[in-house]
Amino acid sequence: MAEAVRVKNIGLRGVTVADTKISFIDGDQGILIYRGYRIEELAQKSSYLETAYLLLEGNLPGKQHLEAFTREVVGARELPKGLLESFKQWPRGSHPMDVIQASVPILAMADPELNAETREAGVRKGIRLVSRLPGVVAAWHRIRRGLEPVPADDKLSHAANFLWQLNGEKPDEEMAHDLDVCLVLHADHTFNASTFACREVASTRAHMYAAVAAGVGALSGSLHGGANAQVMKMLQELEGEKDIAGWVKRQLDQGQRIMGMGHAVYKTNDPRANFLREIALRLGSKLGQEKWPRLSTQLEKAAIAEFEKRGQPTIKPNVDFFSAPVYHLMGIPADLMTPIFAISRIAGWCAHIIEEALGEAQEKPTLYRPKAEYVGNYCGLTGCSYEPLQTRG
Ligand SMILES: CC(C)(COP(=O)(O)OP(=O)(O)OC[C@H]1O[C@@H](n2cnc3c(N)ncnc32)[C@H](O)[C@@H]1OP(=O)(O)O)[C@@H](O)C(=O)NCCC(=O)NCCS
């Protein structure tokens, strides 16, 4: 049993709550590492499925292992028929994050190994989730527009197949590659809010899908994964704005946050944002739509300058700041931006759930149970006197 430590830290900033072998951040130097490998190297040289293998299995695969893993992902893409049928009954205005969160238990019911607790079964469940979440998002996007879902194309890469199932058109190869890089960049990020939510649920010995559903809920929030959609909203609001610096100042004076800026751990540039800025600039010039990356970089400059003036020089763009214009340039609507985060982060979530459930990085699996300081109504240990309803007035 771990020794009780008397600390209060609202928001758990800087509190170490577990050990992990999956990823590491140096927030002062802007370094992110998955299983020992720098994110820059993975973004340049790896692919999303290879990165998913790395996160789930703990090491880079050999050629045959990657081929087998890819075959398993591709082979698991078909969604349970009942799920697609039920999509047709769901309110078309439902947010895709709610649709993912509602679909996860349905995928659970279709998983033959739902309650199997071995590492191998955990990885197979992770593979099914990695395989199926993109299909959930694509099918929902089509059904909500009155279109039929598009069957997967086994010859396409993970990202290319997602774009194909979303749009029903073969995607541009460079764009599919850029999306694959985005998926690599978002695949894991230590104990962020959604991963911690997954691990917290996994620590109760609930199954993987129950833990993932919690992660999806946490990711949907605007201070977490939901920020990318808010960034897009902000950029659209700024279209035509002549005085971006003035706009930033007004926002901050009104106590508003600049979405996509700041990070609980990074106190310097987020290494993922650097890649995404580059992709946004390149895609913008390739498509002749420089407006969005230009606006983003102008806003970035103005916000950094204003934060510096206010004595907050560590607030810099995070992963969501440039992923919004990148996805927008790919033709992805704003409410699918957080779902794309989810279809990437699913690999990290599953890796963390396995690690948590099996206690792989620490002595043994341990249920999370923090304390809270009670600051509510208090009449002493005998309790307040309970007045019957009839006489309470
Ligand atoms: C992500 C985030 C919650 C991290 O915040 P944090 O540094 O851990 O802690 P706090 O939320 O307490 O912020 C610390 C201070 O910086 C300010 N701050 C941080 N990010 C800010 C932002 N994007 N815009 C305006 N102010 C910001 C806060 O207002 C706070 O100031 P205060 O101490 O005067 O109240 C925060 O940066 C944020 O809300 N960013 C916008 C949402 C976002 O992009 N989320 C995605 C994260 S990947």
Q: How far apart are CA 90 and CA 141, in angstroms?
A: 12
Which position among 141, 158, 189, 263 bears the catalytic label? 263
Reply yes or no on whether the pLDDT at 76 is more than 50: yes
Global pTM value: 0.95
Q: Which atom of ligand 1 is nearest to the CA of 251?
A: 25
pLDDT in tens, 311-349: 999 999 999 999 999 999 999 999 999 999 999 999 999
Distance 287 CA to ligand 1 centre (A): 33
Q: What is the pLDDT of residues 12-57, one digit of tens each?
A: 888 899 999 999 999 999 999 999 999 999 999 999 999 999 999 9
Decide if 350 contacts 122 (C-beta within 8 A): yes
pLDDT tier for residue 9 given thresholds of 50, 70 and 90: confident
Of all protein residues, the one whose alpha carbon is nearest to atom 11 of ligand 1 is 264
Paired residues of 177 in beta bridges: none
Distance 263 CA to ligand 1 centre (A): 6
Is 224 among the residues known to form the active site?
yes
Among candidates 205, 129, 194, 192, which has minimal Cα distance to 318? 192
Most ligand 1 atoms within 8 A of CB, residue of 223, 232, 251 to mutate: 223
320 is catalytic: yes
The span from the CA of 94 to the CA of 117, in Å, is: 33
Mean pLDDT (the chain) is 95
Rg over alpha carbons for the chain, rounded to the nearest Å, is 22
Residue with tokens 């809010």: 193
* Ligand 1 interacting residues, C-beta cut-off 6 A: 223-224, 227, 252, 257-264, 312, 315, 318-320
Answer yes or no: is pLDDT of 4 > 70: no
SS (H, E, C) 307-331: HHHCCCCCCCECHHHHHHHHHHHCC
Output the CA torsion sign for 143, 149, 152, 156: negative
DSSP 83-108: HHHHHTTS-TT--HHHHHHHHHHHHH
Catalytic residue, chosen from 158, 178, 320, 328, is 320
Ligand 1 atom nearest to 192, measured from its CA: 48
* C-alpha 151 to ligand 1 mean position (Å): 41
